[in-house]
């Protein structure tokens, strides 16, 4: 075993921060991300998959962005590697607006089929439709249907939750209906998340921030305990992420990054793993950190702010 704190079973690749949309709720393509690297380096990404599979039983891999299918050749090549390495669940999240060119849409759908991708989640909702031509999205969905890819689902974002009655959800329901004729299943989707542009544009629909945060790592979707990481992701600039950066694939191999990881070397992670949320507040006192007067949406929001302020005062 490389490291008892890392028990990988899933890999994620943030292919690019570029996108064909500029959704008002986006938490990924915000102004503060490092957009120097247009997309992941394929050679390194394949090496990442191979090294992970040499050392762990990986059962799922996801590619997302930005819009990953701005680079379909690249993404498909990576999924072929995943299939060769027997990763069962090979997923893509896409907005299905890849290009306006019908011939190219057809070509991309074929490439996806040949790549062995077996789970495509298509974002269909008010937020995406605002910036994308849904006639084109419809053509892409029809091509995906034609290719008979094992699982394609419509993946909406709900404002507050699916049951909440508001104009955004009503519009999303109409849009989902538009594609009923294709008979794709609709998945649970996500609820609007308090991060990125959503915080500026949809404050009234988000929970009220508080100064007294409770909870622990793993409470929020897609988070886990730093002393038992099961998923690592790679960013376009080569950064390897647990819930924060743990190394860079351009500087070290995945094996080296995993072998030297120890949450105890990171004072923020050590505090939260060993003392929970009160560990974070103890750190705030000890380091004299000034917290946001407006409060925080979640434990991760608090944790990330403490990390940023500690880096600032180094």
Site of interaction with ligand SF4 (CB under 6 A): 19, 21-23, 26, 28-29, 65-67, 95, 123, 128, 217, 223, 226, 243, 269, 272, 299-300, 303-304
By C-beta, is 26 or 249 nearer to ligand SF4? Answer: 26
**What is the closest distance, in whole angstroms, from the C-beta atom of residue 131 to ligand SF4 in the complex?**
7
**What is the closest distance, in whole angstroms, from the C-beta atom of residue 190 to ligand SF4 in the complex?**
10
**What is the closest distance, in whole angstroms, from the C-beta atom of residue 24 to ligand SF4 in the complex?**
9
**What is the closest distance, in whole angstroms, from the C-beta atom of residue 50 to ligand SF4 in the complex?**
27
Residues 6+ apart with CB under 8 A from 46: 77, 78, 81
By C-beta, is 95 or 172 nearer to ligand SF4? Answer: 95
Contact 108, 71 (CB under 8 A): no
**What is the closest distance, in whole angstroms, from the C-beta atom of residue 53 to ligand SF4 in the complex?**
25
By C-beta, is 46 or 263 nearer to ligand SF4? Answer: 263
Q: How far apart are the C-alpha atoms of 253 and 51, rounded to whole Å?
A: 8
By C-beta, is 102 or 215 nearer to ligand SF4? Answer: 215
**What is the closest distance, in whole angstroms, from the C-beta atom of residue 29 to ligand SF4 in the complex?**
5
By C-beta, is 226 or 238 nearer to ligand SF4? Answer: 226
By C-beta, is 52 or 299 nearer to ligand SF4? Answer: 299
CA-only gyration radius of the chain, Å:
20
By C-beta, is 48 or 126 nearer to ligand SF4? Answer: 126
**What is the closest distance, in whole angstroms, from the C-beta atom of residue 217 to ligand SF4 in the complex?**
3
Q: How far apart are the C-alpha atoms of 21 and 137, rounded to whole Å?
A: 12
């Amino acid at each position: 075993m490389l490291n008892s704190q890392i028990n990988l079973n899933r890999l994620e690749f943030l292919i690019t921060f570029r996108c064909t949309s500029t959704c008002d709720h986006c938490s990924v393509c915000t102004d503060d991300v490092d957009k120097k690297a247009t997309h992941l380096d394929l050679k390194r990404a394949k090496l990442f998959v191979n090294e992970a599979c040499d050392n762990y039983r990986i059962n799922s891999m996801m590619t997302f962005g930005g819009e990953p299918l701005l680079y379909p050749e690249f993404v498909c090549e990576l999924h072929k590697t995943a299939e060769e390495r027997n990763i069962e669940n090979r997923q893509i999240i896409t907005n299905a607006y890849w290009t306006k060119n019908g011939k190219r849409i057809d070509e991309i759908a074929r490439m996806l089929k040949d790549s062995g991708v077996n789970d495509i989640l298509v974002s269909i909702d008010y937020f995406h439709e605002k910036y994308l031509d849904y006639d084109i999205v419809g053509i892409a969905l029809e091509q995906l249907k034609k290719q008979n890819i094992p699982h394609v689902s419509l993946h909406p974002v709900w404002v507050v939750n699916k049951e909440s009655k508001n104009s955004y959800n009503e519009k999303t329901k109409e849009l989902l209906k538009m594609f009923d004729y294709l008979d794709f299943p609709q998945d649970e989707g996500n609820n609007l998340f308090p991060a990125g542009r959503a915080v500026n544009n949809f404050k009234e629909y988000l929970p009220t921030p508080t100064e007294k945060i409770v909870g622990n790592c793993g409470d929020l979707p897609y988070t886990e305990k730093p002393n038992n990481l099961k998923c690592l992701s790679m960013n376009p600039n080569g950064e390897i992420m647990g819930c924060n950066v743990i190394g860079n694939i351009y500087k070290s191999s995945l094996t080296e990054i995993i072998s030297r990881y120890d949450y105890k070397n990171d004072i923020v992670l050590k505090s939260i793993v060993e003392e929970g949320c009160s560990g974070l507040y103890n750190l705030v006192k000890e380091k004299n950190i000034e917290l946001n007067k407006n409060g925080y949406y979640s434990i991760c929001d608090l944790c990330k702010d403490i990390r940023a302020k500690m880096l600032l005062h180094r």
